[in-house]
Structure formats: structure tokens, C-alpha cells
Amino acid sequence: MGVESSEFTENPPKNSPNYEQPTTNCHMKNWYKILSVLLILYTIFWGLMGPVPRLDILNETIRNVYYHVPIWFAMLFMMSVSIWYAIRYLLSSDTVFETKSFNAAKVGFFFSIPGIITGCFWAKYTWGTYWTFQDPKLNGVAIGILIYLAYFILRNSIPDELKRARISAVYNIFAYVMLIVFIMILPRLTDSLHPGNGGNPAFGKYDLDNNMRMVFYPAIIGWILFSCWVFEIKNRIAQLNSILNDQ
């Protein structure tokens, strides 16, 4: 750990490849924001109006697949982005990457809340309960949320900036790998109640018909792009804050 790396803790010099000008026009970069809003609006409208197959137990609740599943996809995507930046931070010791990793974890955590709420209400109508411990996906999510809460608590409990970045990046990577392992092991321990698992009626490859695909895939892309947008705003706020703190 040299002196020179501790000097650009928050603000890399302008010639650094990681420097992003905070105030320049980024109109060309806005296409994905517009696309995400259009896709999400399309899926909200067409998800409620479009035709769906009639399945036992699921009935009309199958429409939740347009909202619940893509939000989880967006969360997993952001968690992976967080790990990507944590690894890049450990390899380069540039704290800008670590701030991005933290922001991505925050955005991912933010997306887990609507994911859980949509799931709970759906479960109430199909399984008759808001929460059950019989399902590996629910247990995996619960552990994932505990891990990220622990990560936030750890990161907030260390005052020194460089130390905080290093330690929380290490925990982030370790915890993410263990979470993935947990999600892979769990189905061997308990059968899932989720549609498509353990002999339940599914919107798996046979039931997700072409009409549903036309809404489901755009929904995934839309929500992931939307999470990228939130992530970018978070990064810009962090960048501005670091400039303010330096002055």
C-alpha cells in the first residue's frame, strides 16, 4: 500500500481511465433509460391485458411472472455487478471501484424489496401463506438479504476509508460465492414449491407460451436496464459527494 494510492481515495486524476466527468452532456448515453421506461410501461400494460394460459392453482396470478421474476433478475444482476467491481477494486486498489460496488449492492438490495413483496402476495393467493420455510428459493433469498445487511453493517462500522473499502470488498466476494453455493445446494435438501419445480404447475418451457414470452423477455431487459439507471444515478451522487468532501 503506497502513499500514492491513498492519495486518490475518492477522486482519480483527470487522466485516469476511471475518471468520469460529472457534468458533461450524456445525451448519447440516455438511450437505455428511455428504452427501460418504454419496456416497463409496455410490460405493465400488456402484462395485465395480454392473453395467458389457464393453469390450475395459478389462474390469473401467472401474470406475476412479468413483475416478480424480472425484479429478481435485476437484483441478481446488480449483485453480480457489485462483485465485478469488488474484484476490480481488489486488483487495482482504486476506491472508485469499491464505491461502485457498494452502490450496486445498495441498488440490488433495493430491488429485493419489491421482489419479496410481489412474491409474498402471490404466495398468499396460491400457497395460502405469505412465507414458508419449505421452499429453497425463499430460504436462499432470506440468507441473501441477511448477507447484504451484514455487508452494509460491516461497511458502516469501519471509519477509515481505505480499510473499509478493502475489508468490505473481501466480505462481499466471500459472501456472494457462499450465497451462490447455498442457492445451488438448497434444492437438493428441500423440494421447491415454486411453479416448475417439484411437480408443480409451471410457467416452465412448456407453459410459457409465445404470448407470454413477448412480455416476459422485454420485462427482464426493461428491469435490468432500469436497475442500471438507478445505479448510474447512485454513482453520480457518490462522485459529487466526494468532490464536495474534498473541497
Question: Candidates 20-28, 178-186, 195-203, 214-222 — which segment interacts with another protein by CB under 8 A?
Answer: 178-186
Can you tell me which of 38, 178, 237, 240 binds another protein, judged by CB under 8 A? Answer: 178
Burial bucket for residue 95 (CB in 10 Å: 0-12, 13-18, 19+): buried
Candidates 63, 88, 166, 194: give the one binding another protein (CB under 8 A): 166
192 binds another protein (CB under 8 A): no
Q: Which stretch binds another protein (CB under 8 A): 40-48, 72-80, 119-127, 164-172?
A: 164-172
Our finding on whether 189 is near another protein (CB under 8 A) is yes
Half-sphere exposure of 93 (CA within 13 A, CB side): 12
Site for another protein in 113-152 (CB under 8 A): 143, 146-147, 149-150
| CA separation for the pair 168, 102 (Å, rounded) | 9
41 lies in the site for another protein, by CB under 8 A: no
Residues 74-113 that bind another protein (CB under 8 A): 90
d(CA 139, CA 185): 12
Q: Which stretch binds another protein (CB under 8 A): 63-71, 97-105, 153-161, 222-230?
A: 153-161
> Of 46 and 171, which has the nearer Cβ to another protein?
171
Distance CA 180, CA 60 (A): 32
Q: Name the residue among 247, 83, 104, 231 with its Cα closest to residue 169.
A: 83
99 Cβ contact list (under 8 Å, min separation 6)? 10, 165, 235, 238, 242
Q: Which stretch binds another protein (CB under 8 A): 9-17, 64-72, 175-183, 218-226?
A: 175-183
Give yes or no for residue 234 binding another protein (CB under 8 A). Answer: no
Q: Is 181 in the site for another protein (CB under 8 A)?
A: yes
Would you count residue 8 as binding another protein (CB under 8 A)? no
20 vs 191, beta carbon nearer another protein:
191
Cell of 218: 422485454
Considering CB under 8 A, how many residues would be counted as binding another protein? Answer: 29
- Is the Cβ of residue 124 or residue 163 nearer to another protein in the bound state? 163
CB of 90 to another protein, least distance (A): 5
169 binds another protein (CB under 8 A): yes
- For the stretch 108-111, contacts whose Cβ atoms lie closer than 8 Å and that sit 24 or more positions apart, written own/partner, are 108/74, 108/75, 108/76, 108/77, 108/78, 108/79, 108/81, 108/82, 108/148, 108/227, 109/75, 109/145, 109/148, 109/152, 110/230, 111/71, 111/72, 111/74, 111/75, 111/78, 111/223, 111/227
